[in-house]
Amino acid sequence: MEKINVKIYGIGSEATTTLHNMLDELLAAGYDMTIDQVEDIDEMMDKKLIGIPALSINGDLVFQDTNPSKNDLQRWIYSYLFKHSKPLTMKNILVPVDFSDTSKNAFQFALAYAEKTGAQLRLIHAYNSPLDVANPAMLLTITEQEERINETLKQLVQSLQPSDSKVKVTYEAKLGFAVDEVIKMSESPDVDMIIMGTMGEHLAIEKVFGTVSSDVSQQAHCPVMLIPPDIKFSPINDILFASDYSATEGQVLDKILKFAKTFNAALHFVHINNNPEDLSTSPEELIFEKVFASKDPETPMYFAEVKDSSVTDGLNHYIHNHNIDILTVVSQKRSFWERIFHKSTTKRMVLNSEIPLLVLHV
């Protein structure tokens, strides 16, 4: 989320004190924000104010001679961030592979994604066994194992990367358990995103890799894109955000909007209502009016509430009916998955999504 510098213009009035208190609440909620009180007459004259209290965000005057509500204030801050957001930069992508067809396909997807975005790829294979994969009866030293894996990774790149590809690809073998190593690497500022395969019902190794992708998607410290088997990269025109309403914080939507702007894609905010007695107001009222001051003409937005007893079925129906290219969920806390999906359906959604699944963390 962009750093916010807020200035309150006014001299010791009850209105400016109330405004400051409301901003303090937003600050306590986790906003990356600094708050300055401006009482200097000359500075206020330079702003050509017609009345106080007034407020600016990052130097831009947002309102003046107004006593906003807390919801108004929050909406203005969101609106400012959206209008000034830039494409989400993901230039360094980590691609875990286990040499299964699922992970090879994810690597090819990552290559096409990198061609589109100008990113570079870093392949990683984590191992914790001294056995030779080709000959399980043979024990190898760590050095021998690393050399063999690096050679296999080299051959994988040479066999799958097109000769005219300009994407820079590096690779390495890492001693350790796959989930632990990938999550540890995701903490590095040099890793902007993880792209990895998910699911796999044909080979035992693919089933294991599917479990790894599920764990990584929930615990990583950077965005994770999960690629189902046989899915090839194609233009990203429509992005679905699975909303549970409680996740609609400014920093969450800022990330989603930036990702959409990267591909000039439309955003679909979809809430699955699996409670037939829930007579809540529409998502457009709950999300749009609360969060958006005005529509962003560069990013078409659609809002829908889908009634279905199953969250996964409801999302899949919407995906099929609206030609969605990527499903996006946001993990605000580690318990987010349990809030949106029942535990029994969490893994099914992650491992059986029919389109790429992007998991963002805040």
* pLDDT one-digit tens code per residue, 271-291: 777 766 655 555 444 545 455
DSSP state of 236: -
DSSP state of 163: T
Structure tokens at 15: 């209105």
Residue type, 184: K
Query: What are the Cα distances from residue 6, in Å, to 19, 23, 80?
Result: 11, 9, 11
CA distance 261 to 270: 19
Query: Treating both helix axes as pointing N-terminal to C-terminal, what angle do 311-322 and 343-352 enclose, rounded to 10 degrees?
Result: 30
In this prediction, the residues of the chain whose per-residue pLDDT falls under 70 are 1-2, 28-31, 71, 75, 78-79, 81-88, 129-140, 199-210, 244-252, 275-298, 331-352, 362
- CATH classification of 238-361, choosing from 3.40.50.620, 3.30.530.80, 3.40.50.11540, 3.40.630.30? 3.40.50.620
Question: 238-361: same fold as 4-84?
Answer: no
Checking phi first, is residue 156 left (phi over 0); if not, alpha (psi -120 to 50) or beta?
A: alpha
What burial class does residue 353 get, using C-beta atoms within 10 Å of its C-beta: 0-12 exposed, 13-18 middle, 19+ buried? buried
Architecture of the domain defined by 4-84: 3-Layer(aba) Sandwich (3.40)
Return the pLDDT at 340. Answer: 47
Helix (H/G/I), strand (E/B), else coil: 136: coil
Strands (E), 99-168: 120-127
Global pTM reads 0.73
Structure tokens at 199: 């699911």
DSSP state of 299: S
Q: Which CATH superfamily is domain 92-205 in?
A: HUPs (3.40.50.620)
Q: Are 100 and 200 in contact (CB under 8 A)?
A: yes
CA distance 108 to 106: 5
Instruction: Measure CA 44 to chain center.
Output: 39
Return the pLDDT at 344. Answer: 42
Return the pLDDT at 200. Answer: 43
Return the pLDDT at 123. Answer: 96
Residue with tokens 């509430």: 305
Return the pLDDT at 77. Answer: 72
Helix (H/G/I), strand (E/B), else coil: 272: strand
What burial class does residue 267 get, using C-beta atoms within 10 Å of its C-beta: 0-12 exposed, 13-18 middle, 19+ buried? buried
Return the pLDDT at 201. Answer: 42
Every domain of the chain and the residues it spans: 4-84, 92-205, 238-361
**First CA to last CA across the chain, in angstroms?**
9
DSSP state of 34: E
CA distance 214 to 359: 10
Q: Which residues contact 134 (CB under 8 A, 6 or more apart)?
A: none
What burial class does residue 17 get, using C-beta atoms within 10 Å of its C-beta: 0-12 exposed, 13-18 middle, 19+ buried? middle
pLDDT in tens, 100-138: 888 999 999 999 999 999 999 999 999 876 655 555 545
